[in-house]
Amino acid sequence: MREWIAAHIAAAVAGAGSGKPSIIDAASMVELIDSGEAEPVDPDDEFGPVSYDGHVWEWADDTEAYVRT
């Protein structure tokens, strides 16, 4: 549980001040892909990296969300 909390705090701090999220939950990322705002880097890899907002986002098991890389 401590690692999970620490990961969430670290992700939030990484995006602090930018006005943009540093993590995106799976449901929100699916909506972004469906709307065309985001796109998978490799369309054949269902859970692979996603390009969105000028960044690549990857799934992180510890945060259970996509994190900006």
Ranges of the chain whose pLDDT falls below 70: 1, 4-20
> Distance between CA atoms of 45 and 43, rounded to whole angstroms?
6
| Residue 15: count of CB within 10 angstroms of its CB | 14
The pLDDT of residue 7 is 65
The pLDDT of residue 6 is 64
* Domain residue extents for the chain: 2-68
The pLDDT of residue 14 is 55
The pLDDT of residue 52 is 95
The pLDDT of residue 13 is 57
The pLDDT of residue 55 is 95
DSSP states of the chain? -HHHHHHHHHHHHHHTTTTS-SEE-HHHHHHHHHHTSEEESSTT-TTS-EEETTEEEEEETTTTEEEE-
